[in-house]
Amino acid sequence: MVNPLGKLFGGSIFGFLHKGSSVLGIDIGSSSIKVVQLRKERGAAVLETYGELSLGPYAGIEIGRAVNLDAEKLAEALLDVLKEANITTKNCGISIPFAASLISLIKMPMLNEAQLKKMIPIEARKYIPVPITEVALDWFILPEEGRRFLSSEAEAEGEVEEAKFRKVDVLLVAIHNETLAKYNAVVARGNLVASFFEIEIFSTIRSTIVQNTTPIMVIDMGAATTKLYIVEYGIVRSSHIVNKGAQDITLALSRMLGVSVAKAEEIKRESGITGKSGDQNISTAALLTLEYIFSESKRVMLQYQERYRRNISSILFVGGGALLKGLLPHAQTKFETDVRLGLPFSRTQSPAFLEQVLLETGPSFSVAVGIALRKLEEMS
């Protein structure tokens, strides 16, 4: 069984790689499983193989749909993708869905580690809506630059002494024990050696964000939901879930065109936002969902900027939904800042002939690459 305590955060988001064995990053999403195998060579992460498998068929529904499989079915799908991708190692880390966690930024007295270890579970009861015995807790003390940043907000509120000298900011994370039990069962059935579970947001940060001193918004478009993260100094400052994702475009398209969900998914992947010959139905189906997601994203951005008086410097799109053709140009017209795709494979070395393919598919592998990178650091 994987011990989650002290394992929910990466040991280092921006680490240096050393020579070692092959490792595996596993991202179990709502609609597919992604796997990435890396090895260390001359201080670099070398891509050996990767793969993706849709989960819909394992629940008897269409490709692209979000599912909630039990441990047995997840293990079956995982073993299938490991075989198809020619994975050769069992040494891995596995992501935990953001929706299965609770993340809060709390203030604590500036005490030593032993004292904080006793006090944080008590303080956590104020933020966790279930009994503390039903979750696994982890926490991370913000680095000095983060504390200086947050103290500027406190200063504006007349709390200079408290913020600068008597308080420390702690990122608190909780995961339900039932979720951890389910993933431990998947590990056991898959005959894997998993040394950690990590909430997907931290994996994405590691694989796609260069150490930054200005705020960046990450828009992670999954099948059922879209996750919004604001990151600064490599630290999650704000997070939000939008209850719409890529499958909402497919379902709307199915209704508008009067075709099956499977056919609508095929049309969406082939045509993107504008559709063939500017088909208005395809465009409308995509834009209705995107407008809602973008509106929520802008609201979260504005709230953050008003609260901290810090402008978002860029927006990074990741997740399977980010592969939608025409997404980036359309998003650029909606946000008054730089918009780009996350490129996790840029953190790895790979054959030149794969360069274009990895650019096109990269955003959906942000979590899997981030998990594999952490595993490499762990084995150094």
Structure token digits, residue 191 = 């005959």
18 pLDDT band, cuts 50/70/90, is: very low
Q: What are phi and psi of 119, to 5 degrees?
A: -85, -35
Q: What is the mean pLDDT of residues 25-41?
A: 96
Nearest to 79 by CA among 265, 138, 71: 71
Among the residue ranges 39-53, 81-95, 161-175, 256-270, the one predicted with the least confidence is 161-175
For residue 80, give both structure tokens. Answer: 């299938």
pLDDT in the model for residue 24 = 98
Determine the average pLDDT of the residues in 19-41: 91
The first and second tokens of residue 102, run together, are: 């609770």
Average pLDDT of the chain to the nearest whole number: 86
pLDDT of residue 152: 45
Please write the tens of the pLDDT for every residue from 145-171. 544 444 444 444 444 444 445 678 888
Nearest to 200 by CA among 34, 377, 379, 315: 34
Q: In the chain, how long is the greatest CA-to-CA distance?
A: 65
* Phi and psi torsions of 208, nearest 5°: -125, -15
Residue count (the chain) = 380
**Per-residue pLDDT reduced to its tens digit, 124-145:** 888 888 888 899 988 888 765 5
Question: Please, are residues 30 and 67 in contact by the beta-carbon 8 Å criterion?
Answer: yes
Which range is least confidently modeled, 6-15, 46-55, 262-271, 337-346?
6-15
The model's confidence at residue 4, banded by pLDDT at 50, 70 and 90, is very low
The predicted structure's pLDDT at residue 180: 94
pLDDT in tens, 298-342: 999 999 999 989 999 999 999 999 999 999 999 999 998 999 999
Does the pLDDT of residue 19 top 80, yes or no?
Answer: no
Of all residues in the chain, the percent with pLDDT exceeding 90 is 62
**CATH number belonging to domain 23-247+288-378:** 3.30.420.380
Task: Identify the pLDDT of residue 112.
Answer: 80
CA distances from 240 to 32, 99, 219, 244, 270 (A): 22, 10, 10, 12, 30
pLDDT at 224: 94
Q: Is the pLDDT of residue 296 over 60?
A: yes
CB 335 within 8 A of CB 315: yes
Structure tokens at 44: 């670099």
- Rounded to an integer, the average pLDDT of 340-369 is 94
Cα radius of gyration rounded to whole Å, the chain: 21
What residue segments make up the domains of the chain, in order of their start? Answer: 23-247+288-378
pLDDT at 229 over 80: yes
